[in-house]
Amino acid sequence: MDINRVQKRDGRLVPFEKQKIVNAIWKAAQAVGGKDYENVLELADKVAEIADTIYPGNEIVTVEEIQDLVEKVLVKDGHYKTAKAYILYRNQHQLMRQADLLLANNKIIADYLEKNDWRIKENSNMTYSLQGMNFHIASLIVSQYWLQQIYPPEIREAQMNGDFHIHDLGILGVYCVGWDIRDLLMEGFKGVRGKVASRPAKHFRSILGQIVNFFFTLQGEAAGAQAFSNFDTLLAPFIRYDNLDYKQVKQCLQEFVFNMNVPTRVG
């Protein structure tokens, strides 16, 4: 058997089990009065053989693709009643999954509104708000992508079993970032096509404004903090160039600190 893994609907990879095909066909056959279990085994073998031909080597096959093959084999071999029962059974399960998904989605929103989910307070930078709820819902989807598609099974199981906690799974990006302020000073605020760009700042207030815009723009590209190093050293020449006194510098920095402390993420 060349196929050894099947991708489930939630993205998880599980071992290929022909017995599951047997069980599904057998249930459909029994629903229309079928009693020939040996024939069911033969049909399952045909499905597996065709799957090996269509998906050679170690290619991953999805649950839906396997089910499509089962339908084709049943129809081709003349088991029309069994095929109809199998299709109905498959559709019923699809409706059940959709209903479960709807209930799960409703519960996610209700849990947030009622503050029943501990993950609402996982990050102190994110407040309880409409934008916070939108981020919370999106983060649940992203966290599943991390666990199902990126981390290996042992890490996923350890996280789900509570052996340890992976912080900030809700963002598909890096954690904290240190940026080069020299690049902003020399190149200006630019780099994204179709967005507002600024040439290198010439005055103290201008560079402080560019720094605010820089962090405001990039705060959503990482889960944690953003930082510049050598802030005071590299900005000192602007103070000299503008011939600012202590009071003027203090006023500029007060404005800067206030602007930097305005929340930019979820409230």
Both tokens of 259, joined, read 């602007």
- How distant, in Å, are the alpha carbons of 108, 109, 123, 191 from that of 118? 12, 13, 10, 38
DSSP code, position 199:
P
pTM: 0.59
pLDDT tens digits, the chain, 267 residues: what are they? 567 778 887 777 888 888 999 998 998 889 888 888 999 899 999 988 888 888 776 667 888 888 899 999 999 989 989 889 888 888 877 777 776 666 677 788 888 888 877 766 666 666 777 888 888 888 888 888 888 888 988 898 888 888 988 888 888 888 899 999 999 999 999 887 888 889 999 999 999 999 999 998 888 888 888 899 999 999 999 999 999 999 999 999 999 999 998 876 654
Break the chain into its structural domains and give their ranges: 5-91, 117-161, 177-260
Rounded Cα distance between 25 and 229, Å, is 65
Structural contact between residues 57 and 65, judged by C-beta atoms closer than 8 angstroms: no
Q: Of all helices (H) and strands (E), which one includes residue 227?
A: strand 226-228
Rounded Cα distance between 181 and 231, Å, is 7
Nearest-10 crossing angle of helices 80-113, 18-31: 110
What are the backbone angles phi and psi of residue 137, rounded to the nearest 5°?
A: -65, -45
